[in-house]
Amino acid sequence: MNEDTKLTASKQRWAREGRFLTGRVARPETERLPPGQHLVRDWPVLDLGRQPAIPREKWELRVFGAVEHPLTLDWAAYAAMPPHTEVSDIHCVTTWSRYDNRWDGVSTRDLLDACMPRQGADFIVLHSYDGYTTNLDLNDFAAKGAMLAHAWEGAPLSEAHGGPVRLVVPHLYLWKSAKWLHRIEFREQARAGYWEANGYHMRGDPWVEERYSGPEPPASALL
Ligand SMILES: Nc1nc2c(c(=O)[nH]1)N[C@H]1C(S)=C(S)[C@@H](COP(=O)(O)O)O[C@H]1N2
Ligand SMILES: [Mo]
């Protein structure tokens, strides 16, 4: 084999393996669990202790702030959006992870197409019916896999897990996935949500253990 042929063969192998597709090469199975996490089979419930009971007929989602088209979606308007399904893993900052959760709902990209964030509206705050808030960068909100979810494993999302509709952002720790979603605010400046203001990391990437913003876990790190 001359050098050219060898290089061609390597390139073909790299192409098959997806080499050099920056950041998007499928992690081998051994790397599916982020550092410091352990796997669970059940699905723990974690929240501030107030679980609001919102029937679908009373549920409303408002999209406001720095957007061209503010929206108010009732259940019928939400259900009329393009359906979207994802299977993704959950990683909670309290160190448990759960694989292969099947979600039905609406992709955040379709929501962005509908509301059209203004130039510079790079930050988002999610507001929930229980008073909880959490913040995201627009890029993380728009990431593939991020969605509004109303069903889990083919059944309506339970009240305890945030029904009628919660956010799911699978590439960040689960505290970013606001349950009982009520309002989505687009902003030109970042603002810390509930846990972010209490010492949790502003971004929360489990693969680099962005758990806390300071050197010590906060005293309030209970959930
Ligand atoms: N509205 C709301 N969303 C919330 C919370 C909350 O208290 N209220 N807790 C967050 C935290 S800290 C976690 S770990 C996950 C837990 O989701 P689960 O109860 O479905 O496992 O929800 C997140 N979303
Ligand atoms: Mo949490």
Contact assessment for residue 25 and residue 31, using Cβ atoms and an 8 Å cutoff: no
Residue 57: its pLDDT value, please? 98
Partner residues linked to 200 by β-bridges: 212
Ligand 1 nearest-atom number relative to CA 45: 19
Ligand 1 nearest-atom number relative to CA 48: 7
C-alpha span between 48 and 32 (Å, rounded): 29
Spell out which residues have Cβ within 5 A of ligand 2, the ion: 46, 175, 223
Q: Whose CA is nearest to atom 21 of ligand 1?
A: 45
Partner residues linked to 91 by β-bridges: 97
Residue 151: its pLDDT value, please? 98
Residue 122: its pLDDT value, please? 98
Ligand 1 nearest-atom number relative to CA 43: 21
Residue 62: its pLDDT value, please? 98
Residue 220: its pLDDT value, please? 61
**pLDDT of 12 strictly over 80:** no
Contact assessment for residue 181 and residue 73, using Cβ atoms and an 8 Å cutoff: no
Angle at 155 between CA 151 and CA 157, to 5 degrees: 45
C-alpha span between 119 and 125 (Å, rounded): 17
C-alpha span between 219 and 132 (Å, rounded): 19
Confirm or reject CATH 3.90.420.10 for domain 3-46+54-222, answering yes or no: yes
Q: What are phi and psi of 66, to 5 degrees?
A: -80, 65
Residue to mutate, 103, 175, 198, ligand 1, most ligand atoms under 8 Å from C-beta: 175
When pLDDT is cut at 50, 70 and 90, the band that residue 214 belongs to is confident
Burial 63-89 (b: 16+ CB within 10 A, else e): bebbbeeebebebeebeebeebebebb
Tell me how far the alpha carbon of residue 171 lies from the centroid of ligand 1, in angstroms.
Answer: 15
Residue to mutate, 40, 42, 45, 46, ligand 1, most ligand atoms under 8 Å from C-beta: 46
Tell me how far the alpha carbon of residue 79 lies from the centroid of ligand 1, in angstroms.
Answer: 23
Tell me how far the alpha carbon of residue 160 lies from the centroid of ligand 2, in angstroms.
Answer: 14
pLDDT tens by residue, 192-204: 999 999 999 999 9
Average pLDDT (69-76) is: 98
C-alpha span between 82 and 110 (Å, rounded): 7
Ligand 1 nearest-atom number relative to CA 129: 1
Ligand nearest to the CA of 193: 1
Q: What are phi and psi of 178, to 5 degrees?
A: -60, 130
- Which amino acid is residue 85, in one-letter code? T
- Which amino acid is residue 167, in one-letter code? L
Parse the chain into domains and list their residue ranges. Answer: 3-46+54-222
Tokens encoding 112:
């962005």
